[in-house]
Amino acid sequence: MTVQALLTASKAAAPLLARASNELKNQALSAIADELEARVAEVLAANQIDMRESQTKLSSSLLDRLQLTEQRIKSLAKAVREVIDLPDPTGKILEEKKLPNGLHLQKVSVPLGVIGVIYEARPNVTIDIAAIALKSGNAVALRGGSAAENTNRVLIDIVQVGLSSVGLPKELVQTVDEFGREGAQQMMQARGLVDVLIPRGSANLIQTVVNESKVPVIETGDGVVHIYVDSEVDDSIVTPIIVNAKAQRPSVCNALETLLIHEAVAQHLLPQISKALVDAGVTIHGCERTQAIISCVPAADDEWEREYLSLDLSVKVVSSLDEALSHIAKYSTHHTESILTSNPVTAERFLNENDSAVVMVNASTRFTDGGEFGFGAEVGISTQKLHARGPMGLRELTSSKWLVRGSGQVRS
């Protein structure tokens, strides 16, 4: 089968799912979760092949994303079942009115159609996206990258077996992995067959898709994520939040990459922050003022715009909230920013003046996540402004259409 034929089959299958009841979609998801749990050993075996072949090719952060464990697979099945419990986002009346001429108008939510997703070394995305695409009535075509090809082959089969078991066409979830990069290129050119394309991965991958695609793209950006420690702050919350944001899972896009700290508290807070971070394995890259307070690696000029995705952290001492906001405006990728402060006025200003998808007060940036926001699994975190922004769940995979009911009206 060619990529064109595969995508044509997905396009033909999509209306069948769009008309399916919520009950049938849930039955499919339950079957997928059951199949995933029954085939843990098979998934692990395939994943171990991918891990062995990628040891010398991928960074430690990508290897972490590539690796599946028994617990991670069980968590994926659990996430699928959580999607079952979420309300169906399609068929909702979003707006309704009756015109003076008697026309009855309804704006209703509908699936996007066929969603193409291009990602790399993230087999969990295969299950996450399949689950929320199916729940939201969308077919999905996946390009999961060569690093995870063996794992994804098994996962796609698991999904297709689950679909077939309840009478839905397996073409609702397909992969173009066998076609390599050419498959991704053809997906990017498949306007009319693919309704929207979502890239997930490195900044280079995302920009390639944005620049080369003829299909509309929802951009999920990289995460140069900031935390600013204000001059007025409850000292007890600072170190736990920073360590969690940086070290809990450094390879993900909501992990902290740059810490900004006000000069009024830097002298007494930085030593304890530094000790906790170093104990967690973090290497600190500090500005000159940071170097005067703690032992650290000098920060190069280009490090403020770097998404490390590792146990590295840039630290800068600033003189004011204005300087912190200016730094964030210059270097942010508009993913997530957080302020630690006890001053509500300062907090509100930080919330209002940061132009990022998610802005927080006194919380770890690791909470920027569809699951944590109560969306179930997520497609990604959109850093653009059109259609969707922030964690993308079920509702973000729908569009709308107008239903107009008349009784013979003509326009004068």
Give pLDDT tens digits for 365-397: 999 988 788 776 678 888 888 888 888 889 999
Name the band, by pLDDT with cuts 50, 70 and 90, for residue 272. very high
What is the pLDDT averaged over residues 209-231?
92
- Given a cut of 80, whether residue 221 has pLDDT beyond it is no
CA distance 23 to 344: 46
**Per-residue buried b or exposed e for 247-264, using 16+ beta carbons within 10 Å of the residue's own CB:** beebbbbbbbbbbbbbeb
* Residue 297: both structure tokens together: 């690696």
Mean pLDDT of the chain: 94
- Given a cut of 80, whether residue 23 has pLDDT beyond it is yes
Name the band, by pLDDT with cuts 50, 70 and 90, for residue 1. confident
Task: Please report the pLDDT score of residue 383 as a whole number.
Answer: 85
Q: CA angle 383-281-62, nearest 5°?
A: 45
pLDDT (tens digit, 9 = 90+) per residue, 118-176?
A: 998 899 999 999 999 999 999 999 999 899 999 999 999 999 999 999 999 999 999 99
Task: Please report the pLDDT score of residue 376 as a whole number.
Answer: 67
Name residue 385's amino acid. Answer: K
Q: Is the dihedral of CA 96, 99, 105, 107 positive or negative?
A: negative
The residue whose two tokens read 């992969």 is: 175
CA distances from 117 to 55, 110, 174 (A): 25, 19, 11
What is the pLDDT averaged over residues 219-223?
80
- Given a cut of 80, whether residue 42 has pLDDT beyond it is yes
CA distance 172 to 9: 8
- Given a cut of 90, whether residue 201 has pLDDT beyond it is no
| All domains in the chain, ordered by first residue | 3-220+379-405 (3.40.605.10), 225-367 (3.40.309.10)
- Given a cut of 70, whether residue 300 has pLDDT beyond it is yes
pLDDT (tens digit, 9 = 90+) per residue, 316-357?
A: 999 999 999 999 999 999 999 999 999 999 999 999 999 999
**Per-residue buried b or exposed e for 89-98, using 16+ beta carbons within 10 Å of the residue's own CB:** bbeeeeeeee
- Lowest pLDDT segment from 112-116, 201-205, 250-254: 201-205
Task: Please report the pLDDT score of residue 392 as a whole number.
Answer: 86
- Given a cut of 70, whether residue 101 has pLDDT beyond it is yes
What is the pLDDT averaged over residues 188-216?
91
